[in-house]
Chains A and B, each alone.
Chain A
Amino acid sequence: MNRTRVFAVSRKVLRSLRHDRRTAGFLVLMPLFMITIFGYTFGGDIKDVPVVVVNLDAAYGNSSASDAVLEELTAGGVLKIERLYIVNPEGPAPGEASESAVSDAVSEVESGDAWAAIVFWGNFTENVLQSVEDIGSAPTTGPGTITIYMDASNTNIAQAITGEVRLTVQEVIVSEYHVLPPIVVTEDRVYGEGAEFIDFFAPGVMGLAAMMVTFMLSIISFVHERTTGTLERLLTTPVTEGEIVAGYALALGLVALVQSVVILVTAVALFQVQIEGSPLLVLLLIFVLGVGTQGLGFLLSSNAKTEFQAVQFLPIILFPSILLAGVFWPLEAVPELLRPVSYFIPLTYAVEGCRSVMIRGWGVEDVWVELLVLACFALAMLLLSTYSLKKRR
């Protein structure tokens, strides 16, 4: 091996970089960007999960075990108690009150406003105190009971809620009474009965795959069209800028669809992933995401002179989407500082929409917000892409 020739090749590579200042900047800024975003995102604990609580527990003397547990749950930070239903002694009979409160709370879970309705049943404190007294002898009463009516469509959140409730109950009771009597925490899944991590994960992967492929294909294709002169040539024919943009959108949207079908079929066949709602609605969400993302690629391609510069956009667009859009962990686990960014990422809406359809079994009437956001994103990208092409003339 000739040292001079090796150095000549190395020098050539480094000189090329020197002439492309943007690439040189990218090489320095990209690792900085990555370590910052990874550092902030990984290790984020789940926080502020919205839940509602129904406390049917009648206080026993001056002591209320349920209040003590609730106080600690509020202070813990994992759960955010959005509403507290209590039995009003002045109101309807306790039986009616409890029935309607539990059903109201559960309907909040069904509508997606809360992840769980935590119900402390009547006589919770009395049963806990009696159980404490009974320790060492035969039980004279049933255990204190808590039921969590839960939206388990997101397995991470479901585990966090159950874990937090169990742990807090144990800590509070042990701290108050210095013993741990039997307490029953039961789960009742409103959504996601039998759901596993793969059920949570599959919609995320589907959205991510569609986004990655459509973005890569469109940005590389358009840079290629621009650098080889084919775009210029197309525009000397009767085809309009809008027609070129629409043609690409249709083709790459279909690519995203085909991919999603492959992922869906594989996930169902190999991992028995649930599809409670309409698979067509899932595909529609992915198609609209694909159309929008390819438009974004088109738009950014006008700022890249070479395929190499185009590739530099990939991590800038993809990393935040992978980390902040709720693909691998819920938005509740994204640090508060970065969480607003999540709502500006279209993938967030596609993943949330697909999950709601697949695990919760929701229809268009329930995921219209996600569909509308994605449609607005796609339309904006198509219009801006068309404008950027017209401006080139």
Chain B
Amino acid sequence: MADGEGSDERQAVATRGLRKEFGDLVAVAGLDLSVPRGTLYGMIGPNGSGKTTAIKMMVGRLRPTKGGARILEEDVPLAGASLARIGYMPQELAIYADLTVSENLQLFGSLYSMGRERFAKSGEALLSMVGLAERRDSLVSHLSGGMKHRASLACAMIHDPEVLFLDEPTVGVDPELRVGFWRNFSDLKSRGKTIIITTHYMDEAGRCDVVGMMRQGKLIAEGRPQDLMERTSTSSLEEAFLEYSRRDAA
């Protein structure tokens, strides 16, 4: 967390002065994050607040203009086998629409060098979790929007990573299934996994251990959802966010 909790070895994700500029636009303005292992960390903020850019820098797909990040005590960009310790689900679909759900999972399983047995076990469990067991042989292009997102999530989790970066994983997913998703995220957390998740749904953010609020590339507030509401004397995260935004603008 921003003020640093625990020793460095306990940090799953740590960023120092992480900054990204696109020409004159400052997308992320010096982000300092410290996320202990086993944390469900939610990043919330409006469109263009820098959540996705920050995540892309953390997973090594964007080179920061300044600053840097460490994941599981290793400098980003990670290389080789270390990449298998993280999972990433981008905001866009980013799976192959001309392959079936199973074929996509097989592809990602192979890229992580998963053995056949391990893949079969993990694949089955994941398909059930995302509710696509019966659509495993359907082409992704034939699935509904929500199903495509579920397939994408499964691909990010196929190799059972230690740290999972999920960029708006529940967009287009129906409320019933969203509840199921969050139950699974909690299960993963209880198994010691770390999850960094961005979301627009404030009720979802309330399920996180720690929430970071972003506005115009900056982290304007961070803490447990309950604490954030108490500090702003508000009754919802949405109101708390608006209050922190007002203070930041002032």
Least distance between A227 CB and chain B CB atoms (Å): 9
A230 CB-CB contact with B under 8 Å: yes
* A227 closest partner in B (C-beta): B92
**Bound Cα distance A393, B92 (Å):** 18
Q: Report the Cα distance A238→B158, complex, angstroms.
A: 14
Please, how many angstroms separate the alpha-carbon atoms of A230 and B111 in the complex? Answer: 13
B60 part of interface (Cβ distance < 8 Å) = yes
Known: A238-B81, A238-B83, A238-B113. A230 touches B61 (CB 8 A): no
Find B95's partner among A230, A237, A393 (CB 8 Å cutoff).
A230
The answer, yes or no, to whether B88 is at the interface (CB within 8 Å) is yes
| Assembly CA distance A234 to B60 (angstroms) | 12
Q: Which of B52-86 contact A (CB under 8 A)?
A: 56, 59-63, 77, 80-81, 83-84, 86
- Does B94 sit within 8 A of A, measured CB to CB? yes
> Is the CB of A14 closer than 8 A to any CB of chain B?
no
A230 CA to B88 CA, complexed, in Å: 12
Closest A residue to B59 by beta carbon equals: A236
Check B94 against A237 for contact (C-beta < 8 Å): no
Assembly CA distance A78 to B59 (angstroms): 65
Q: Which of B56, B92, B112 contacts A228 (CB 8 A)?
A: B92
In the complex, which residue of chain A has the Cβ closest to the Cβ of B104? A230
How far, in angstroms, from A229 to B86 measured CA to CA in the complex?
18
Q: How far is the CA of A237 from the CA of B62 in the complex (A)?
A: 14
Per the bound structure, the CA–CA distance linking A229 and B96 in Å amounts to 10
**A238 close to B59 (CB less than 8 A):** no
Bound-state Cα–Cα, A172 to B112, Å = 78
Known: A229-B94, A230-B96. A237 touches B60 (CB 8 A): no
Contact B112 A393 (CB under 8 A): no
- Let me know if A239 is at the binding interface, CB within 8 A: yes
Q: Is the CB of B83 within 8 A of A237?
A: yes
Within the complex, which residue of A229, A230, A236 is in contact with B60, where a contact is CB–CB below 8 Å?
Answer: A236
Task: Check B83 against A229 for contact (C-beta < 8 Å).
Answer: no
Tell me how far the C-beta of A361 lies from the nearest C-beta in chain B, rounded to whole angstroms. Answer: 43
Q: Are A229 and B90 in contact (CB under 8 A)?
A: yes
Q: Does A232 belong to the interface (CB within 8 Å)?
A: yes
Give the distance in Å from the alpha carbon of A234 to the alpha carbon of B108 in the complex: 8
* Alpha-carbon distance A232/B83, docked complex (angstroms): 13
Given contacts A228-B92, A229-B92, A238-B113, contact A393 B84 (CB under 8 A): no
A5 at interface (Cβ–Cβ under 8 A)? no
Partner of B112, one of A232, A233, A237: A237
Most buried by A among B80, B81, B94, B96: B94
Find A237's partner among B56, B63, B111 (CB 8 Å cutoff): B111
Question: Is there a chain A Cβ closer than 8 Å to B220's Cβ?
Answer: no
- Chain B residues with CB below 8 A from A233, complex form: 88, 90, 94-95
CB distance from B61 to the nearest CB of A (A): 5
| Contact (Cβ within 8 A) B94 A228 | yes
**Which of A229, A237, A393 has a CB less than 8 Å from the CB of B108?**
A237
- A235 contacts B by Cβ under 8 Å: yes
- From A232, A235, A236, A238, name the one whose CB has the most chain B CB atoms within 10 angstroms: A236
Shortest C-beta distance, B192 to chain A (Å), equals 21
Q: Are the C-beta atoms of A239 and B111 separated by less than 8 Å?
A: yes
Which residue from chain B places its CB closest to the CB of A225 in the assembled complex? Answer: B96
Contacts of A238 in B (CB 8 A): 80-81, 83-84, 111-113
Within 8 A of B (CB), among A310-334: none
B26 within 8 A of A: no
Q: Which residues of A contact B96 (CB under 8 A)?
A: 230
* Chain B residue nearest to A232 in the complex (CB): B61
Which chain A residues in 338-358 approach chain B with CB under 8 Å? none
List residues of chain B with CB within 8 A of the CB of A236: 59-61, 83, 86, 88
Chain B positions within 8 Å of A229 at CB level:
90, 92-94
A238 to B159, CA, bound (A): 11
A236 to B60, CA, bound (A): 7
Complex-state Cα separation, A278 to B96, whole angstroms: 39
Q: Which chain B positions have C-beta within 8 A of A235?
A: 61
How far apart are the CA atoms of A233 and B108 in the complex, in Å?
10
Q: Which residues of A contact B80 (CB under 8 A)?
A: 238
> What is the minimal beta-carbon distance from A169 to any residue of chain B, in angstroms?
63
C-alpha spacing A156/B45, complex, angstroms: 71
For the complex, give the distance between the alpha carbons of A235 and B63 in Å.
13
Residues of B within 8 A of A230 (CB): 94-96
How many Å lie between the Cα of A393 and that of B90 in the bound state? 16
User: Could you list 4 further interchain pairs (A-B, Cβ under 8 angstroms) beyond the known A236-B61, A236-B83, A238-B112?
Assistant: A232-B94, A233-B90, A236-B86, A393-B61
Closest 8 A/B residue pairs (Cβ): A229-B94, A229-B92, A237-B111, A233-B94, A236-B88, A238-B83, A239-B111, A236-B59
Measuring CB to CB, which residues of chain B are less than 8 angstroms from any residue of chain A?
A: 56, 59-63, 77, 80-81, 83-84, 86, 88, 90, 92-97, 108, 111-113
- Residue contacts A-B, CB under 8 angstroms, 14 given: A230-B94, A232-B61, A233-B90, A233-B94, A233-B95, A236-B86, A236-B88, A237-B108, A237-B112, A238-B80, A238-B83, A238-B111, A239-B111, A393-B62
Footprint of B on A, CB under 8 Å? 228-230, 232-239, 393
